[in-house]
Every structure is written in structure tokens, then in C-alpha cells.
């Protein structure tokens, strides 16, 4: 095992392999992102424990069709998906609250090992423990890592010489620029097969409320990033001087989410000074939308062959079964 990994025994046999990037990586990424002409930070930094909790709340909102639609697809096609799982180790990329994985585990009792991969250590451990308690005999492994980087599966002894299937739900692949999505798929090619959730193109009237809800939970989720930077990096962001916006760029096929400065102001991050002008944006996320055909072409560019696709009756969301050759 490399010096960057740390195995920790957890209560009731949850196995944790800790590859969480060091704090210095977060600081460097924040300073670099805020120094760009268009300030931007990776969406992965939204998911500390509080961010993960807020995202779980977003998934329950009436405007946020993605979660309930994807879960309906999973329920409608459980037999087909269970056949795809066969006896493979099920590796979930970005485990979140693990609602969707429960549908798969209930449909495929032949799956005996589950690996949750997430960058939010505490949220990941809690989710894995809950799964282990609810599914008798399920071997549960928590892999705290940045899944956008090559996965260190070879450093998890329980996975050696065992076939795997990756599950990447929630249209998280849409957070990546198309070229980066191809690169990401190449990094997880070693899993062999994937089931990937992909949001489909539709009108701005449906898309924009899903990412900027009436209750303001989406805004709280984005602004929590500033709270995290304050807490972990000693910054002094005044959250009352920032707001949130989400806009569908139809030409680019993506929702663009950003934190907006309400005034000309300066922010200190340790000994670094960052200036914002009134109206200046800090991009927190993109969420790309695809047609089924567009995503299949993207997957093929990464060396995957589309095996099957499942879509809801309203053509809002899709699940793709891909195999790497």
C-alpha cells in the first residue's frame, strides 16, 4: 500500500481505505481557481459533510426531477439491471446517501461486495455503515478518494482478481466538460462495465428551477463552499455579500451555476488577497445535458461500447449500460 493510503478498521466491519487528498491540495486548488480571469472551482469541493447533506436535501425537492426520475427508471428495469450486475463487485462513484444503490442491492442479492467511493469521508462512512446494517452478509468497503482521479482499486486487497461494475448515478458526469468526461471514462475503464446516469436535454423552464429552487437550498449548497473555505483555509468570505444564480446555456447544452459578488470587495485567504468586482461570478458547477446519441458517441470515444439504455416515458433522464473493450 502506498504512503498516501491509510486503512482504518471501522465499527461493525465497515472497511475504510483513506486516499483523501491533503489539505494543501484544497488550498492550492482554491487559490489557483480564484486567480483565473473567470474565477472557478471544481464541483467536487462542494461536498464536505454539510454540502453532502444539503445535496441530499436538494434531491428531495419538487423541482429536482433528476433523482426521482432516475429512481423510477431503476425500479422499472430492475431485472435487466440485475442481470448486468451478475456477481460483480458493485462500485458506486460518488456514493452520496446511497438511496439508488439500495434499489440495485435489493434487485441483485447475488452481489456480495459493495464499494462506495466518495471524497466526503464522514458522509461516506455513515452511508456504508447504514448499508451494511440493512443488507445481511453484504461486505461494505468505503474508499475515500477523488473519483475524478485514477481509482486506486489495486490497493484494495478485497478487489483483487474480482470482476467489477461501476455505478455512476445522478448525472454527475454532466459536471465535467465533454473532453473531461471522455478522460474520466478512460480513467474508470478498468472497472470493465459501467451504469451511468445522464440527464437529457430539455427546456430551460424545467432545467433552471431544478438548479435554483424556491426554498433556496441550491443557493445554500453553493454558498456552503465559501463557508468551507472560511473554516478550512482561514478565509474571511462575508456570505451576505454574495448570492447565487443558475442559468441554462442552450447553445452549450449546460446549466451554469455561479456565486455572484454583490459588491466590489476583497477577501483574504490566509496571506493571499482576492478581489471581486460587483457582479463578478465564481463558477461552482456546470451540468451538461445530452441526447442519448450524443452521450453514446462520447462513451465510444473513451473506448466503451453502449450495451443498453433505459429512458423514462417523459424523456427526461437516461441510464446507460456501457462495456469497455
What is the sign of the dihedral through the CA atoms of 14, 19, 20 and 22?
positive
> What grid cell was written down for 324?
469497455
CA distance 56 to 43: 15
Extents of the domains making up the chain = 6-29+45-203+289-324, 214-288
Taking CA atoms, 323 is separated from 100, 279, 320, in Å, by 21, 45, 10
- Read off the pLDDT of residues 216-248 as tens digits, 9 standing for 90 and up: 999 999 999 999 999 999 999 999 999 999 999
- Read off the pLDDT of residues 39-79 as tens digits, 9 standing for 90 and up: 999 998 998 989 989 999 999 999 999 999 999 999 999 99
Strands 254-261 and 242-249: antiparallel
Report whether 108 contacts 88 (CB < 8 A).
no
CA distance 289 to 254: 6
Please give the pLDDT value at position 38: 97
Nearest C-alpha neighbor of 306 from the set 193, 201, 199, 176: 193
- Residue 129: which residues within 8 A CB-CB, separation 6 or more? 10, 11, 12, 14, 140
Please give the pLDDT value at position 236: 97
Give the fold, CATH level 3, of 6-29+45-203+289-324.
Rossmann fold (3.40.50)
If one counts every other C-beta atom within 10 angstroms of the C-beta of residue 268, the result is 13
pLDDT band at 96 (very low <50, low <70, confident <90, very high): low
Please give the pLDDT value at position 3: 36
DSSP 3-state of 223:
helix
Place of cell 468551507: 228
Place of cell 478498521: 9
Report whether 46 contacts 55 (CB < 8 A).
yes
CA distance 45 to 226: 10
Strands 272-276 and 113-118: unpaired
- Read off the pLDDT of residues 179-201 as tens digits, 9 standing for 90 and up: 999 999 999 999 999 999 999 99
6 phi/psi in degrees, rounded to 5: -140, 120
5 pLDDT above the threshold of 50: no
2 pLDDT above the threshold of 60: no
Please give the pLDDT value at position 10: 47
CA distance 80 to 98: 20
Q: E strand or H helix at 3, and its extent? A: none
257 phi/psi in degrees, rounded to 5: -110, 135
> What grid cell was written down for 234?
482561514
Per 3-state DSSP, what percentage of the chain is helix, strand, and coil (rounded to 5)?
40, 30, 30
7 pLDDT above the threshold of 60: no
Please give the pLDDT value at position 97: 64
Please give the pLDDT value at position 23: 67
Tell me what the pLDDT averaged over the chain comes to: 92
32 pLDDT above the threshold of 90: yes
Strands 89-93 and 164-168: parallel
CA distance 79 to 100: 15
Amino acid at each position: 500500500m502506498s504512503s498516501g493510503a491509510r486503512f482504518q478498521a471501522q465499527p461493525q466491519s465497515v472497511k475504510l481505505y483513506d486516499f483523501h487528498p491533503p489539505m494543501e491540495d484544497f488550498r492550492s486548488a482554491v487559490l489557483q481557481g480564484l486567480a483565473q480571469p473567470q474565477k472557478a472551482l471544481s464541483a467536487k469541493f462542494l461536498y464536505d459533510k454539510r454540502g453532502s447533506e444539503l445535496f441530499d436535501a436538494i434531491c428531495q425537492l419538487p423541482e429536482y426531477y433528476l433523482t426521482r426520475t432516475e429512481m423510477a427508471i431503476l425500479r422499472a428495469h430492475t431485472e435487466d439491471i440485475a442481470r448486468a450486475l451478475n456477481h460483480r463487485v458493485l462500485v458506486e462513484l460518488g456514493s452520496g446517501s446511497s438511496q439508488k444503490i439500495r434499489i440495485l442491492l435489493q434487485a441483485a442479492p447475488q452481489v456480495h461486495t459493495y464499494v462506495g467511493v466518495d471524497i466526503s469521508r464522514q458522509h461516506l462512512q455513515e452511508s456504508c455503515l447504514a448499508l451494511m446494517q440493512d443488507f445481511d452478509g453484504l461486505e461494505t468497503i468505503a474508499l475515500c478518494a477523488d473519483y475524478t482521479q485514477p481509482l486506486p482499486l489495486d490497493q484494495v486487497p478485497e478487489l483483487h482478481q474480482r470482476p467489477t461494475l461501476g455505478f455512476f448515478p445522478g448525472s454527475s458526469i454532466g459536471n465535467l466538460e465533454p473532453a473531461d468526461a471522455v478522460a474520466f471514462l478512460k480513467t474508470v475503464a478498468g472497472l470493465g462495465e459501467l451504469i451511468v446516469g445522464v440527464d437529457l436535454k430539455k427546456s430551460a423552464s424545467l432545467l433552471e428551477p431544478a438548479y435554483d429552487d424556491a426554498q433556496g437550498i441550491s443557493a445554500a449548497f453553493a454558498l456552503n463552499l465559501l463557508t468551507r473555505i472560511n473554516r478550512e483555509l482561514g478565509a474571511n468570505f462575508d456570505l451576505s455579500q454574495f448570492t447565487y444564480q443558475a442559468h441554462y446555456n442552450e447553445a452549450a447544452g449546460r446549466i451554469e451555476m455561479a456565486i455572484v459578488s454583490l459588491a466590489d470587495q476583497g477577501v483574504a485567504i490566509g496571506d493571499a488577497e482576492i478581489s471581486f468586482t460587483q457582479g463578478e461570478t465564481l463558477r461552482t458547477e456546470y451540468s451538461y445535458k445530452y441526447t442519448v446519441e450524443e452521450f453514446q458517441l462520447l462513451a465510444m470515444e473513451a473506448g466503451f461500447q453502449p450495451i443498453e439504455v433505459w429512458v423514462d416515458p417523459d424523456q427526461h433522464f437516461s441510464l446507460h449500460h456501457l462495456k469497455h473493450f
